[in-house]
Amino acid sequence: QVQLVESGGGLVQAGDSLRLLCVISNRAWNRYNMGWFRQAPGKEREFVTAIDWSGNSSHYSESVKGRFTISRDYAKDTVSLQMGSLKSEDTAVYYCAAAQDKENRWPLVDPTEYDFWGQGTQVTVSS
């Protein structure tokens, strides 16, 4: 069993920065691909970014490339999403996700490929 818990969401102004944190309960997560997704009202869950099991590769959607950065800390069992230059279009519930036993598949952008999900954290960007 793997449990993921997100935190760090909030209400910010356009152009501001925000950091989200995902805490993973299972030590075996260091062999998982990790990702962040988001879901805005009335829309389907959307891929944001992913980092591979080794931490050496990352992938971003075109809408966030150059503004967001994903990282993982194996010692602290956490994955972070640093968001900068936030826009109103970034408003959504953000979810942390883990893909088990998919080390050789990259990039992993399909949400159906992920096995574990957090409860989500709300990010609201006002303009």
- pLDDT category at 26 given cuts 50, 70, 90 is confident
Task: List, for residues 85-100, the tens digit of each pLDDT value.
Answer: 999 999 999 999 999 9
User: What percent of the chain has a predicted confidence (pLDDT) above 90?
Assistant: 83
Task: List, for residues 27-66, the tens digit of each pLDDT value.
Answer: 778 889 999 999 999 999 999 999 998 899 999 999 999 9
Nearest Cα to 116, choosing from 31, 35, 7?
A: 35
Nearest Cα to 121, choosing from 2, 12, 42?
A: 12
Nearest Cα to 103, choosing from 37, 51, 46?
A: 51
Both tokens of 10, joined, read 């909030």
Does residue 26 or residue 80 have the better pLDDT? 80
HEC string for the chain: CCCEEEECCEEEECCCCEEEEEEECCHHHHHCEEEEEEECCCCCCEEEEEECCCCCCEEECCCCCCCEEEEEECCCCEEEEEECCCCHHHCEEEEEEEECCCCCCCCCCCHHHCCEECCCEEEEEEC
